Structures are given as structure tokens and as C-alpha cells.
Amino acid sequence: MKIAITGTGLIGGSMALALRAKGVASHIIGVENNHDNAVKAVGLGLVDKCVELDEAIATADLIILATPINTAELLLPIILDKVNRQVVFDVGSTKKSLCDAVAQHPKRGRFVATHPMWGTENSGPSAAISTAFVQKASVICNKNDSDEDALQLVEKIYGILQMHLLYMEAGAHDMHVAYISHISHITSFALANTVLEKEKEEDAIFELASAGFESTVRLAKSNAAMWVPIFMQNRENILDVLNEHITQLRKFKSSLEKENYEYLGELIEKANGIRRILK
């Protein structure tokens, strides 16, 4: 199968490595508007070559859209305009705005909206990992809007990558990822900024930072070019989550201000309930 991957960064590059390792792809074509990334993607063997979008669409059997979500929203209608029976799927972190953008497109059925639930704080082709998706979840949204053969192909590919599938409506997906993914990034960005603002001694941060601190702020290394569009697309859901998060922070603040350590313990014990879910 000839596969075109638009966007050869962390997710697109990892998808390329995984599909090549599993023997799914006989030829992988990259589409990349960043010249340095294009050179790296070819040099690292993620793709066989990088070409313009039109050539990639004409050549490929399958097109994977792995750009930042704001770019994907612009590109997807253009790609669908040019496909015949090729299948297109995306790997973005928000789904509703993208699905809405092509809801009335005559070739909407050739598109499958997906979100493989994996990522790291790193970016670019050099960050790609061939085993990235093993035993992770992938969400397929609005599956009834996709042609049966397109859906089956994408399901088969994720099965080969050893991912387990979940099915959701796009709006529900965006709400859930606001709680379990997007708020984590905002919290990490905010905590990193807090430490950088209050702790002026960089050596002290480096020397004293514990494993707990490192794991909490790891996401603060994530690329703004990817995350600002995600926050823009999922703004309403993220604001809802932020309001609740701020309420919870105020409870901790109030218990300390009032020296109410019994309540502080109750808050921590309630939070311990996450163990039932994340074992």
C-alpha cells in the first residue's frame, strides 16, 4: 500500500515508522512544508521522499493527515476535493471542528476521524518512535459518516498497530479529552511558569527537582505550535474544565489559609480515589 503522510513530526513520523515496521506500507510519501523537517524525515527513513500535496494525493492509496489541527482543518477539504477512492484519516487531538468543516463535503465518506491516544513532550521527525501506539487506545469519531470500506481499512490499520478502538461522537470526544489530556498540559505549563517566576535560581531547580516534579512539568516542554491550535479548537470545553480546576485549587488554598488541616486531608483522600481508575 502506498501511504502519504502530511506532517512528518512526532505523530506522523511515528505512524510512518510503525506502518513500515508492520509491513503495511510498500512506499511512504511525506508532505512537509518545513524544509528541515522534510530533510530529516527522509534522512531518518520515516518517508521515502517528500513531495507536494497534489502529487502525494495522486500517488497514494491512503492519506494520513498529521498536521497541527488548525492546518488540518484547512487541508482536509482540499484533500477531499482531490481524492477518488483513496481513504483519508487524521490523527488530531480535537475532532468536532474538523468533522464540521467537511460535514457537507460530497466526499465526506472517504474520511475517517481518529485520535490515537499517544504523545510525548517532544516534537519533530527526530522524536518519532516505531512502537508508539502499541497497547494504546485510538478513538474513531462519527463513524457512521465514513464509508464502510474506509472505516474498515482504518480499523484494520489500527489493529495491526495493536491499538484498541473506542467509538465516540466528535463533541463527546472533545469534552472527554479536555478533562484527561488538555487540562494536564495547561496545568503543566502553568506550574512551569510559576516555578520559573518564583524560583530565580536555575541551579536550584535543576538540583532539587524530584521525580514527581519532573513528571508533573514534563508536558510543559510541549510545542506551542501544536497546543495553541488545540486549545483554540476546544476552547469551550477547556474553559469548563479550567473553572472546575480553579475551584479545586481554591479549596486547597482555603484549607491552608484557615489552617483547616482536617479538610486538607479530606481533599487528598478524595483525590486518592483516582487509584480505582489508574492502577
pLDDT at position 278 over 80:
no
pLDDT at position 147 over 90:
yes
pLDDT at position 121 over 90:
no
pLDDT of residue 13: 97
pLDDT of residue 275: 86
Distance CA 156, CA 168 (A): 18
Residue with cell 491512503: 62
pLDDT of residue 197: 80
pLDDT band at 218 (very low <50, low <70, confident <90, very high): confident
pLDDT band at 2 (very low <50, low <70, confident <90, very high): very high
Quickly count helices (H) and strands (E) in the chain: 13, 8
pLDDT band at 138 (very low <50, low <70, confident <90, very high): very high
pLDDT of residue 205: 67
**Percentage with pLDDT > 70 across the chain:** 96
**Separation in Å, CA 68 to CA 74, 99, 136, 157, 161:** 10, 15, 21, 22, 22
Average pLDDT over residues 197-201: 73
Radius of gyration (Cα) for the chain, nearest Å?
21
- Determine the Cα angle at 113 with ends 1 and 12, to 5°: 55
The answer to whether the beta carbons of residues 16 and 128 sit under 8 Å apart is yes
pLDDT of residue 47: 97
pTM for the model: 0.88
Cβ count within 10 A of residue 223? 15
The answer to whether the beta carbons of residues 22 and 161 sit under 8 Å apart is yes
pLDDT band at 119 (very low <50, low <70, confident <90, very high): confident
Q: What's the grid cell of residue 191? A: 506550574
- Which position has the higher pLDDT, 138 or 213? 138
- Which position has the higher pLDDT, 121 or 162? 162
In the chain, the domains with their CATH numbers are 2-168 (3.40.50.720), 173-276 (1.10.3660.10)
- Which position has the higher pLDDT, 203 or 144? 144
Among left, alpha and beta (phi > 0; psi -120 to 50; other), residue 151 is: alpha
pLDDT at position 194 over 90:
no
Cβ count within 10 A of residue 90? 28
